[in-house]
Amino acid sequence: NAGVTQTPKFRILKIGQSMTLQCAQDMNHNYMYWYRQDPGMGLKLIYYSVGAGITDKGEVPNGYNVSRSTTEDFPLRLELAAPSQTSVYFCASSYRQGGPNEKLFFGSGTQLSVL
């Protein structure tokens, strides 16, 4: 089982460039999430999805877009990269949300630098 797979692992962007961070899970999880992790700030939720075709904003959605056309994939799009988007990005998935069986599975992260 691959679990949650994120690509790329590292990327350097120039200001104003765009890119897509890929995330795929093979556990048939309905719930998927994108977090960013900044030093000393913990994880902040960018966007999440409760199933194919359904997405919603998290705490820090500005500058990002997502789509969920399949259960497996949940790409994160940066349209006009800004230095403030320099961060480590984590994708996660879970089978359930808000109950005793809740458990998030995380990918290994994408380190993004915008220069």
Partner 1 sequence: AQSVTQPDIHITVSEGASLELRCNYSYGATPYLFWYVQSPGQGLQLLLKYFSGDTLVQGIKGFEAEFKRSQSSFNLRKPSVHWSDAAEYFCALRGGFQKLVFGTGTRLLVSP
Contacts with partner 1, residue ranges (CB under 8 A): 4, 35, 40-45, 48, 58-59, 90, 92, 97-100, 102-104, 106-109
Beta carbon nearer to partner 1, 66 or 107? 107
Beta carbon nearer to partner 1, 19 or 104? 104
One DSSP character per residue, 68-79 reads -SSSSB--EEES
In angstroms, give the least distance from the CB of 30 to partner 1.
14
In angstroms, give the least distance from the CB of 13 to partner 1.
20
In angstroms, give the least distance from the CB of 76 to partner 1.
15
Determine the Cα–Cα distance for residues 81 and 77; give it in Å rounded to an integer: 10
Determine the Cα–Cα distance for residues 87 and 53; give it in Å rounded to an integer: 27
Determine the Cα–Cα distance for residues 46 and 34; give it in Å rounded to an integer: 5
